[in-house]
Every structure is written in C-alpha cells, then in structure tokens.
Amino acid sequence: MNKGYDNASLFYDRLSAIIFGKQLLEAQVHYLHLIPANAKVLIVGGGSGWILHAIDKVHTCDLLITYVDASPKMTAIARNSYDGNNLVDFIPEDILEVEIAGKYDVIITPFFFDNFKEKEAAEILERLNTMLSNEGLWLYTDFRDNKVIVHRLLLRCMYLFFAVLCGVKANKLPDMHHLFLKYGYSMKDERLLINGFVESRVWTK
Ligand SMILES: C[S@@+](CC[C@H](N)C(=O)[O-])C[C@H]1O[C@@H](n2cnc3c(N)ncnc32)[C@H](O)[C@@H]1O
C-alpha cells in the first residue's frame, strides 16, 4: 500500500528548508491570491499542511478544501496543526484510489508530480482533469529541468534518497508541460525560481 512520504514526515519540511531555504514555499504561495472567493479547492500531495496556513492568509474562512495525501502521517500532521476557519476535509489516501464526487474550482499540486513516471503522471492528470470544473484553475508547482548540471545532480540525489526512504519509483521528471497541453490546458502565467530549477504555473481549462 502506498503510504507516500510517511517515512519522511518528521523531517521533510526541515530538510527542504536546509536545502532550498524558503524558495520552495515561495514558489507554492506565489499564485494563491488567484483562488476565487468561496471556491472549492483540491490540494493533492500537500504534505505537512503548511500550505493551508498560507491559504488562510488570502482566504480566512470561505473555502471548501479537500486535502488528499497518500501519507497518513503527513495528513495527521496537517490535520492536527490546522487551526484555521476554512472547511478542510483531510483524506489520507492515494489520489488514484480515492473516491471523490463533484468538481473543484481550483486544483493545487505542489511538488507532487515529480514523484511519478510519465505513465502514472498521465493517469493522475487524466483523473484530476475530470475533477476540475470548466474554466477552473490548476496551480502547479514543481521542479523543472533547467539543464544546469548541479541541479540535475541534486535532483538525482533527491530521487535516490526518496526511492530508498519512501519508495518513489520515478527517477526523472515527467513532461508535465506536454501533458497539460494534451488535455487542452492553457498556461495563464508562470514564475521561475532558483535559476529555472523550480516552476510555478497557472493552468486553465
Ligand atoms: C515531495 S512531497 C511535497 C509535500 C508538500 N507539497 C511540500 O512541498 O512541502 C510529495 C507529497 O505527495 C504525497 N504523495 C505521494 N504520492 C501520492 C499519491 N499517489 N497520492 C497522494 N499523495 C501522494 C506524499 O505523501 C508527500 O506528502
């Protein structure tokens, strides 16, 4: 059974801060202000849930959020630390297995797709696509191959580390740009960080 980042739950945020400082957080919060009022929001692979606190700064209480993360430990940390007033449904399940009805106005996938090989990433995108309403927003943040040797090496090390610790099977980034275009999405805006090693994008349906 896929338990996501259970084995990294106690130190993932600290490790990320040691390696990247606040840059990965910055990338994820960059477009949160685009979430419309009263929106239904689906967050997939949110980890320890710090993003919920960042969302609270933009919308204090009018959102209906579904929070899906395969790691029961990450989800427990997120649930226990959330003290905001948006309505959040925490679901500790694999996104490919969870049963969710209804459509969302916004889907957020922060550093999530880098965990998957091309085929699985395509399956997930296809599934999530059916959950996003027409003209919905997809806030996508992830690593990007900027062809810089040191970043490629770092990515390799991260894949190796999370393969051993969390059973991540991917060993390179899926081509998400191609997949979004294939499903008819248009890119509304983009911000690159860390010399293009991280991208934050707004895709619309
Ligand atoms: C790289 S971490 C990113 C965590 C958080 N978004 C952040 O940037 O701090 C990826 C997250 O995706 C979750 N995950 C991995 N595979 C998943 C799946 N199939 N369904 C749902 N969540 C998954 C992991 O448990 C982990 O919390």
Please write the tens of the pLDDT for every residue from 104-147: 999 999 999 999 999 999 999 999 999 999 999 999 999 999 99
Which residue, by CA, sits nearest to atom 16 of ligand 1? Answer: 4
Q: Would 165 be classed as within a structural domain?
A: yes
Cα 43 to averaged position of ligand 1 atoms, centre (Å):
10
Could you give the C-alpha distances from 193 to 50, 138, 151, in angstroms and in order? 20, 19, 12
State the total domains in the chain.
1
Confirm whether 80 is domain-assigned. yes
The beta-strand segments (E) located in the chain are 40-44, 64-68, 87-91, 104-110, 132-143, 186-193, 198-204
Please indicate, yes or no, if residue 1 is contained in any of the structural domains.
no
The alpha helices in 23-141, defined as continuous H runs, are: 23-29, 50-58, 72-81, 118-131
Mean pLDDT along residues 82-90: 97
Which is the closest atom of ligand 1 to the Cα of 94?
20
CATH number of the domain within which 162 lies = 3.40.50.150
How far does the centroid of ligand 1 lie from the alpha carbon of residue 103, in Å?
21
Residue-wise pLDDT for 175-189, tens only, equals 999 999 999 999 999
pLDDT tens-digit map of 39-82? 999 999 999 999 999 999 999 999 999 999 999 999 999 999 99
Q: In the structure, what pLDDT confidence band is assigned to residue 21 with cuts at 50, 70 and 90?
A: very high
What does the pLDDT average to over 184-198?
98
Sign of CA dihedral 95, 100, 103, 107: negative
Q: How far apart are CA 145 and CA 87, in angstroms?
A: 36
The pLDDT, as a whole number, for residue 1 is: 80
- Please indicate, yes or no, if residue 127 is contained in any of the structural domains: yes
Q: Are 56 and 49 in contact (CB under 8 A)?
A: no
> Bridge partners of 2?
none
Q: Is the CB of 7 under 6 A from ligand 1?
A: no
Q: Is the pTM of this model over 0.95?
A: yes
The answer to whether residue 171 is domain-embedded is yes
Rounded distance between C-alpha atoms, residue 17 and residue 199, angstroms: 17
Question: The tokens of 89 are what?
Answer: 């449904």
Domain that holds residue 101: 6-204
The atom number, within ligand 1, closest to the CA of 13 reads: 9
Residue 200 domain-assigned (yes or no): yes
